[in-house]
Structure 1
Amino acid sequence: MAIRNENDNIKKIKNVFICFGIIVILAFLVMTYKDDKLRLNASFVATDVNATGIENDEYFSTISESAEEGDVLYAHLYSYKPGKYNVKFHCEVSNEGSGFSIVTDGSVTPDNTFKTEVLDYIPLLPDVTEYEYDYTIPSHVRDVKMVIHYGGSGTLKIGRAYHTSYKLYYYDCAFVLFCLALLGLIIGYQFRKKKWEFKIFDSEKESGLTDFGRIFFLLVITFIASIPLLGKGFYERADLQFHLMRIQGISQALSSGQFPVRMQPVWHYGIGYPLSIFYPDLVLYPAAIMVALGLSEYYALCVFLIINNFLTAHIGYKAFSAITKSYKKGLIISAIYTLSVFRFGVMYQCQYGSIMAMIFFPLVLDGIVNVIWEDGTRWHILALGMTGIISSHILSSVMATLMCILCCIVGLRNLASVKKLLAIGKAVLTTLLLNLWFIVPFLLSYNRNYNIIFEQPITNRSVVFIPQMFQWINFGGMTNQYGSETAGEMPISVGILFAIAIIGFLVMVIQERKCDYVLGTCVFISLATLWLSSEFFPWDYIIRVPALGKMLYHVQFAWRYELIATVGLSVVTAEVILYFLEKLDLKIYFVVMVICLINIAPSIDCVTNYYPMFFQDKYQYSYHFVDDTENVDYMYRDLPYEELKSLPRTVIVIAENADVSNLKRNGVDMSFDYTKDGDAKFTLPIIDYPGYRAWINGEEEELSSTDKHQLTIIADRLKANSGSIEIKYREPGLWRVCEIISVVSAIIMIIFVRKRKRVE
């Protein structure tokens, strides 16, 4: 009978694998069928920031008679592929003489001139309000823009222009189905050697759950955390557009062959942006790869965040189980942590750097607890957790370091051992080696004259009032960003559940008259970081302390310290629930899910009913975020950005008898042919960030730069009267060495972890 049951179980597993395989194949076939079109919409902005007579709102741009004649409005359409497109728009004009045109932006025309190539032009007439026509982007063009020419008299009012490609694109839903089925195959493969039973509970196991039951529990957690992602649109808050730009920038850089990504091409009208040198984005690569493979930014972000929720629950379960030595406690803590009010608020405030880092904070806590209070053999877990955080969000690595310091303060007596200090040393060294590829370029670039270096953090003005810290239902904001009021500001709170848990902890300690080291440590780091985030912390004095003040102050927002408190209080809350409800046995899982759902229900309501919707149609989204003029943190302080953004995105020839042809751009790289008769100078649409190199007729030559930080090729470098020029971004050799060291360290770490798992 036992053999028969085992055979039946194997057959069930095989059937599941077959089903997943069929789904993968069907999804792939649907994807290759390409049964949908790409639809985009774009709003116009004034070509001159000081223009008079032009007003813009969310839907329309209006030109009055006080405006001057000329090209007064434009909208960039970056990264369009060659092919046929249809455009529709609504326009009202009172007089004739105005027109709408699609023109090239950043490409040389077929006759090798530098004049803007007009792809299509239509006059705007007083008796016509609805316009629709087709236009074609030729193969030599990469970027285009729409331009409105004002005739100089009367009024003109134009709305968004809606573009539709005639080329068919992938089904996003098929791609998502493909990814989910592939994930199912991976999960199934990981558990291939285990005996699967398709039931949830098993009273003989410590957790009370079967392997299938644990996966089911984690998937339920993931589903609840992802509820706002399952609607038609996305909720626009805080840094959504910034992170969408990051995804697009990484995707284009990877597609052009740049790895790891250092210079993103799409930012600031295509002049390049060293964002990836300062803002770690390795964990964001999966979303960028999905976009590069054909998925829309909307679905790529949704899939990425759903996977993020699952990884947070799964890794949290593993780490918290190791900390508490209980699978049951690990699952409950993971649920409370993943569904915490703080994490939910940060995710749907679009603080994705912090959300990615929160995947790895439980690993850091697991590693540091093992090193201080146990045998120290899990130091590599600490190194892996820190590596994940550094690769996600540089400011979160400061908070993770602070969490480790606070744990060391609590367990200072335990550290008086060579073995413990050696374990900490190995964790620190391994972390440095694994992240050398990012740390060295970051530190070498940090000393340059970038805006970010001189930016003044507002940490002391972003504290949390105590009543707001544990607020449960809120629709107006929860942080004192500017020291005066909270209306309309960022809603960040640890929630009422943690406040109840603190009271329950005090009752439990008074009743039992004891507290183990894990619980005591979690309470200490939680209360300490809640104090750091509150209005009662003396920020004005602390910032004057040379080392400590600078480290604490540069997390930018004081409320971010609630992240550490969320980690610690999740452990405390689980212990309190199990202490008071221990008689519920297996029903405890259902009770915990109900408690967590009630805890974040007001947050879900706040997000779905009070946040503005973005991407209401997943294929129709505004490209105004491509022209991100506000994010100049990593540009030179003395860069005349307002002047540069109005320059053409092509080579400027400073000579009478010189010409350029066959201009091509691949990411941040550029190549073109030239001819000249006499001296000539070529000014490039590239900012002189370190790393750009030039090859003229196959020989490397030195680049110069203008007073506006644009790269130039001066006459002395052009020895021949004709030839080809290649401009490429290449990392310094030291950076490559650091990358090799990090890759070798990662391989050694993988081998070490696999051997250790076999021994265990």
Structure 2
Amino acid sequence: MKKSRFRRIIYILCVTAICFIPCCLKGIWMGSDAPFHLARIESLNQALQMGIFPVKVHPSLAYSYGYGVGIFYPDFFIYLPAVLRMAGCSLEVSYKIYIFILLLELFVSMYFCVRKKTGEIYPALAAGTLYLFSYPVIDGIFKSFTLAQTQALVFLPLALMGMVLFVEKDEFPWMLGIGFTGLIYSHALSTAIALVLCFVFLVFQLPKWIGKKKKWFYLMTAVAGVSGITVSYWGPMLEQMKAQSYRVSQPWTHVSKNVLALHSAFGKSGVGIVILLLSCLAICAFVWNRPCKSWSGVGYFIGGIFLILLTTNQGFWKTFEKAFDILQFPGRLMGAASVLLIFAFAVIFAKNQSCAKWKNLSLGCVLVLSMFGGFFYWKSNEMPARENWDNRNICEEIAGIGAGEEWLPAVTTRENLQQPGIVVSNSGKSYIGEFQGRELVVRLKKEDAPYQLPLVWYKGYHAETEDGSAGEINRRGSDGLVELTDISEKDAVVRIWYLGTPFQKICYIINVCAAGTMFFIALAARHRRRAMAQ
């Protein structure tokens, strides 16, 4: 290994370790979304131990009524801490290992994007450092605990820079495809934000690519590949949304009510004072030394500032509330704003000759300023308390369905989830069921049907008696719970569990085939490049 590469690896690991320091304290920082995401990890671990894979409905959540969070909220990246839990690690240790890897991914993602764009090492290292200490990252991990949204920040730079390079270069947009695949498997709203930004960029760059058939072919192939590789997430989700309406259609908050004040958008709720300062200095350097030809950096800067200002525009969000209400918080745009402003700084920094002469000193200054910015955020915000989860089961303490309860059926409330394990007949007679792994097992009588089961209904539940006969499953319209309409025997032990749907199985087959096809195309492209190089 070259000495310079070894130094880069050491630098990246050291910066990641510095950002990770708060996690070295005992306990988990219990941000606003911490109970929900910790319950996702723990319930995923419990589902895997029951032999369920892939996990679409988490049986332990919603007071053991089962919550279909895996259908609507991709679990792909939290399988790591769940598997660590299965291996014997505590919830705290599993989560913190995941966070360290997440921080490393954030740095490497930004480093790779800037390195690919500029061809320079030091601007890429500076960009990764800034990104790791940006307010959206620190807030997402330690304060708000928006785990999925922070995971999406790994892939947001790849998607945005991937689109830039797609327009600028005549090659297949691998980075764009990887970025959007990761976004879809991380956080749906972040994917939507990236789609809008990429579309706007394509419109502005229309003359550069609109008439090139090869680029159209590349783009359509990438779209097809990403769609195929992620169909196991969005396919079953659309199937379930078609089957019934959910509480997400009844928003618990509105985007226009969460607009940021101007001082907050440029202060403690923004991208970070250091990113703002350095990107503004970069623009000043551009104006001072215009021959450096970094107009793209100016474009990134304008885009980043525009997104920050947009989070403060009450009129815009009020006017388009119906279209953007699912966003809930305009502050979600700060992640994209930080990416664009870091791109602006790095691109101009790479082109500025005076910065290049003092690259070591410049990188050191960026590191010191970034650490100062992170410390300032820590001191200017009221950080959450830490809690110890070593000897506690979070799924026994909370429902784990989130503040908005978005993925419960629209007619289901917490009041409907107060009798776990109790099966109620049409005549009002109660039967005590027993959860055996993923199955609810109960002895029932045919004449007392139909039965209300203590399970939240999602399409894909299956009932079976001892002789292998299937029971008839439906959804109760009054409360959105599972209803067993009929059984084949007069007196039988019935097992009920979430089996999934045939469409889900088809989606998994398509997913595997698409992943294999794209892998084969990647190998073929690599072989072709090597052959041409020789």
TM-score (norm 2): 0.89
1:94 is matched with: none
- Of 247, 264, 286 in structure 2, the residue corresponding to residue 451 of structure 1 is 247
* Residue 239 of structure 2 is aligned to residue 466 of structure 1: no
Alignment CA distance shift 1:541-1:678 (3 Å)? closer
Q: Quote the Cα distance in structure 1 between the aligned partners of 2:412 and 2:80.
A: 33
8 Å contact kept, 1:615–1:621: no
Aligned AA (1:450): Y
* Residue 408 of structure 2 is aligned to residue 635 of structure 1: yes
More helix by share: 2
Query: How far off its partner does 1:294 sit?
Result: 2.1
* Residue 305 of structure 2 is aligned to residue 511 of structure 1: no
Question: Once the two structures are superposed, what CA deviation does each residue of 1:402-446 show, in whole Å capped at 9, x if it has no partner?
Answer: 221232133222122222222222222222111111112222222
Q: Quote the Cα distance in structure 2 between the aligned partners of 1:296 and 1:657.
A: 41
Aligned AA (1:227): I
Aligned AA (1:425): M
Unaligned runs of 5+ in 1: 1-194, 198-209, 472-477, 479-491, 545-549
Q: Quote the Cα distance in structure 2 between the aligned partners of 1:620 and 1:311.
A: 30
Question: Once the two structures are superposed, what CA deviation does each residue of 1:209-257 show, in whole Å capped at 9, x if it has no partner?
Answer: x221111111012112212111112222210111011112222222222
2:313 is matched with: 535
Q: Quote the Cα distance in structure 2 between the aligned partners of 1:374 and 1:677.
A: 68
- Of 184, 189, 195 in structure 2, the residue corresponding to residue 401 of structure 1 is 195
3-state SS, counterpart of residue 693 of structure 1: strand
1:599 is matched with: 373
1:615 is matched with: 387
Alignment CA distance shift 1:648-1:442 (3 Å)? closer
Q: Quote the Cα distance in structure 2 between the aligned partners of 1:405 and 1:462.
A: 25
Query: How far off its partner does 1:306 sit?
Result: 0.8
1:159 is matched with: none
Alignment CA distance shift 1:380-1:368 (3 Å)? same
Aligned AA (1:214): R
Alignment CA distance shift 1:595-1:680 (3 Å)? closer
* Residue 462 of structure 2 is aligned to residue 703 of structure 1: no
Alignment CA distance shift 1:597-1:394 (3 Å)? same
Query: How far off its partner does 1:456 sit?
Result: 5.7
Aligned AA (1:535): N
Q: Quote the Cα distance in structure 2 between the aligned partners of 1:292 and 1:344.
A: 28
Q: Quote the Cα distance in structure 1 between the aligned partners of 2:103 and 2:52.
A: 29
Alignment CA distance shift 1:754-1:224 (3 Å)? farther
Rg bigger for which structure?
A: 1
1:89 is matched with: none
Question: Once the two structures are superposed, what CA deviation does each residue of 1:535-556 show, in whole Å capped at 9, x if it has no partner?
Answer: 3662222346xxxxx2x44222
Query: How far off its partner does 1:305 sit?
Result: 0.8
1:565 is matched with: 337
2:217 is matched with: 422
Matches within 5 A, 1:325-724: 325-348=119-142, 349-375=144-170, 377-416=171-210, 417-447=212-242, 448-455=244-251, 457-471=253-267, 478=268, 492-514=269-291, 515-516=293-294, 518-535=296-313, 538-543=316-321, 550=323, 552-575=324-347, 579=352, 581-606=355-380, 610-616=382-388, 618-619=390-391, 625-628=397-400, 630-642=403-415, 644-652=416-424, 663-667=434-438, 669-673=439-443, 682-696=451-465, 697-704=467-474, 706=476, 707-714=478-485, 717-721=487-491, 723-724=492-493
Query: How far off its partner does 1:359 sit?
Result: 0.7
Alignment CA distance shift 1:704-1:446 (3 Å)? closer
3-state SS, counterpart of residue 63 of structure 2: helix
* Residue 502 of structure 2 is aligned to residue 729 of structure 1: no
Range with bigger deviation, 451-460 or 358-367: 451-460
8 Å contact kept, 1:379–1:426: no
8 Å contact kept, 1:284–1:392: no
Alignment CA distance shift 1:659-1:337 (3 Å)? closer
Alignment CA distance shift 1:502-1:655 (3 Å)? closer
3-state SS, counterpart of residue 702 of structure 1: strand
TM-score (norm 1): 0.64
Q: Quote the Cα distance in structure 1 between the aligned partners of 2:96 and 2:174.
A: 31
Alignment CA distance shift 1:625-1:535 (3 Å)? farther
Aligned AA (1:365): L
8 Å contact kept, 1:434–1:742: yes
Aligned AA (1:367): G
8 Å contact kept, 1:245–1:625: no
Query: How far off its partner does 1:394 sit?
Result: 0.7
Matches within 5 A, 1:245-264: 245-264=39-58
8 Å contact kept, 2:61–2:399: yes
- Aligned Cα root-mean-square deviation (Å): 2.8
Alignment CA distance shift 1:658-1:214 (3 Å)? closer
2:96 is matched with: 302
Query: How far off its partner does 1:698 sit?
Result: 0.4
Counting matched residue pairs gives: 520
Query: How far off its partner does 1:691 sit?
Result: 0.9
Alignment CA distance shift 1:588-1:621 (3 Å)? farther
Aligned AA (2:270): S
8 Å contact kept, 1:370–1:378: no
3-state SS, counterpart of residue 581 of structure 1: helix
Matches within 5 A, 1:206-355: 210-348=4-142, 349-355=144-150
Question: Once the two structures are superposed, what CA deviation does each residue of 1:185-215 show, in whole Å capped at 9, x if it has no partner?
Answer: xxxxxxxxxx355xxxxxxxxxxxx221111
Q: Quote the Cα distance in structure 2 between the aligned partners of 1:382 and 1:605.
A: 37
Question: Once the two structures are superposed, what CA deviation does each residue of 1:270-325 show, in whole Å capped at 9, x if it has no partner?
Answer: 00111111111211111121122222221211111111001111222222211222
3-state SS, counterpart of residue 686 of structure 1: strand
Alignment CA distance shift 1:606-1:256 (3 Å)? farther
More strand by share: 1
State the structure with bigger RCO (CA 8 A, min sep 6), 1 or 2.
Answer: 2
Alignment CA distance shift 1:281-1:656 (3 Å)? closer
